[in-house]
Amino acid sequence: MAFAVASPSSTAISGPPFSCSSASSELKASQIGSVRLLERSHGQSSALNISQRKSAVKPLNAEPKRNDMIVPFAATAIAPEVEEKEKVEAEDYEQLAKDLENASPLEIMDKALEKFGNDIAIAFSGAEDVVLIEYAYLTGRPFRVFSLDTGRLNPETYRFFDAVEKHYGIRIEYMFPDAVEVQALVRSKGLFSFYEDGHQECCRVRKVRPLRRALKGLRAWITGQRKDQSPGTRSEIPVVQVDPVFEGLDGGIGSLVKWNPVANVNGVDIWNFLRTMDVPVNSLHSQGYVSIGCEPCTRPVLPGQHEREGRWWWEDAKAKECGLHKGNIKQEDTAQLNSNGNGAAAETDIFNSQNLVTLSRAGIENLAKLGSRKEPWIVVLYAPWCQFCQAMEGSYLELADKLAGSGVKVGKFRADGEQKEYAKAELQLQSFPTILFFPGHSAQPIKYPSEKRDVDSLMAFVNALR
């Protein structure tokens, strides 16, 4: 995909031609965070004059349209000459995706806004997906933007939201998590439980459920997903699809359409475009952040690292989705990610080494009962389907090799399925993996407290207690 600047005061974007006809003035304009380009004279060039951007845009404001099922409106505007579009025509979106496979992001964005009008909105995370707002702006059509405020974003992201609103003359529709649900989660598990048992529960409360509420007021949404963002989950996303997970305004699976205009664009071209168009960007990008989410779960990446390595860095790199795009995860992966460990698993076992002892239920019970042991033990309570256990397998096997012949035994106990209740009651199991150290002269095992599961951290834990 190539981008080119036609002149210092106008832009042209390569790709299949498309038309932004006068139909844009006929679309209904009842929306939040929307903009409309002022009428141009017949003699004016159709290319957008970037230097006149702020004077060429005005927000639309009027009395709010009341509908409890729709994303709350901060302001609306009504074009009285336009009739409400009650139903969206049936469409073969698989065929449409094939037809648009080689289309430019601008053409895809224009098609989405033309087709759904006020019933579609851009999902804006506060990262490089600001490119979606720029494309929507360039179509000349009214558009809506919403964002999920989890309550745990970086200060830089909040300042970026404000800069984007001022730059485009829009109001972003913010969706917030349910306060009662957040309070219950924090009271029961603390502020940072995701470091121990995974990010899915926190994301479900702070992101997925607010998103679900937002989408129930729409018939389509626009995301910034790209195929190169996550090889494990996003490599096959189409430019448009029927959303496989969420429901839209009409209810039921299949009632919501998902547009991914930049699916086929690589990150380098995204940034070249943003720089060319002089678009506001999140200041965290200049500090090494590429993929930006909540502050506790996002960190900078080093040169050469993939951008998603900065998100949930303590977890398996192949499954880094928060739940907003759960439909990207293939069916065979979903069972593993969603398993609660209550049933027997058929997965290949892990932590296999000649320097590591496999403990049965009787073996772990006997070890726990001993008041005085000849040798101390370190034991991992695990489930082979758990991605966190899989992620630490290499470091734990290296630990077993280092401790061979040292007088410290290294073991493993599979604590899912029928053994889970016992492990929770007797072995301090709360999440997988749980690592216990059984001292030589104490009956009470000591639980490894850190989310750092590299071999050096584990070795420091053993050396402090042996």
Catalytic residue numbers, as ranges:
386, 389
* Torsion sign (Cα): 114, 117, 123, 126: positive
Cα 441 to Cα 371: distance, rounded to the nearest angstrom: 7
Any idea which residue has 């490119």 for tokens? 131
Cα 175 to Cα 159: distance, rounded to the nearest angstrom: 17
Cα 448 to Cα 196: distance, rounded to the nearest angstrom: 11
- Residue 23's alpha-carbon distances to 40, 83, 115, 177, in angstroms, are 14, 13, 11, 37
φ and ψ of 196, to 5 deg: -95, -40
Element housing 57 (H / E)? strand 57-59
295: its two tokens: 């502050």
φ and ψ of 390, to 5 deg: -60, -40
Nearest to 164 by CA among 121, 124, 200: 124
Cα 426 to Cα 436: distance, rounded to the nearest angstrom: 12
Cα 420 to Cα 458: distance, rounded to the nearest angstrom: 24
Cα 161 to Cα 130: distance, rounded to the nearest angstrom: 10
φ and ψ of 434, to 5 deg: -115, 130
167: its two tokens: 């730059």
78: its two tokens: 């009504």
Cα 456 to Cα 167: distance, rounded to the nearest angstrom: 48
Query: Other C-beta atoms within 10 Å of 225: how many?
Result: 22
Nearest to 330 by CA among 244, 433, 444, 451: 244
Dihedral, CA of residue 136, residue 140, residue 141 and residue 143, to nearest 10: 40
Single-letter amino acid, residue 294 = C
C-alpha triplet 202, 317, 401: angle, nearest 5°: 110
Cα 262 to Cα 230: distance, rounded to the nearest angstrom: 14
Cα 261 to Cα 136: distance, rounded to the nearest angstrom: 10
